[in-house]
Amino acid sequence: MKAVSYRAYGGPEALEYGEVPEPTVGPDSVLVRVRAAAVNPVDWKAQAGYLDGAITPVFPVVPGWDVAGTVERLGADTPEFAVGDEVIGYVREDFLSRGTYAEFVAAPVRTLARTNRPISPSSRPPASRWRA
């Protein structure tokens, strides 16, 4: 699968885009096809090494914790979700490795919530609705 990743701490120049292994789905996780991922200040701080000692990296690291997408595959113990469910989540683990800047992310079910409307460009309200 395609993903943004880094193999060592650094700035933007450390980021790579290319093939990484598809994540393994554990019994309490689901595989999410990523539709959107947010960029947060913690992402660049982690990439720069500022969290070293607080969160262990497992290189290569795919950054990102926030996700919106569709459930593609279920773990053995995930009755909360079904294939095709549209979800949002904060997919943070206790180490840096499998983030959301990828085509797929294995997300523990405790980190996800089902959305109440479709995640697609056509589901966005008109831009005029957001103007003052």
For 103-117, what is each residue's pLDDT tens digit?
A: 999 999 999 999 976
The helix (run of H) or strand (run of E) holding residue 32 is strand 29-36
CATH of 2-119, one of 3.90.1150.10, 3.40.50.720, 3.30.365.10, 3.90.180.10: 3.90.180.10
Q: How far apart are CA 72 and CA 7, in angstroms?
A: 27
Q: Are 62 and 87 in contact (CB under 8 A)?
A: no
Sorted by where each begins, the domain ranges of the chain are 2-119
Integer angstrom CA distances of residue 127 from 35, 36, 37, 123? 20, 19, 21, 12
Q: Are 80 and 109 in contact (CB under 8 A)?
A: yes
What do you get for the CA distance between the two ends of the chain, in Å?
Answer: 41
For 57-102, what is each residue's pLDDT tens digit?
A: 999 999 999 999 999 999 999 999 999 999 999 998 889 999 999 9
Share of the chain above pLDDT 90, in %: 80
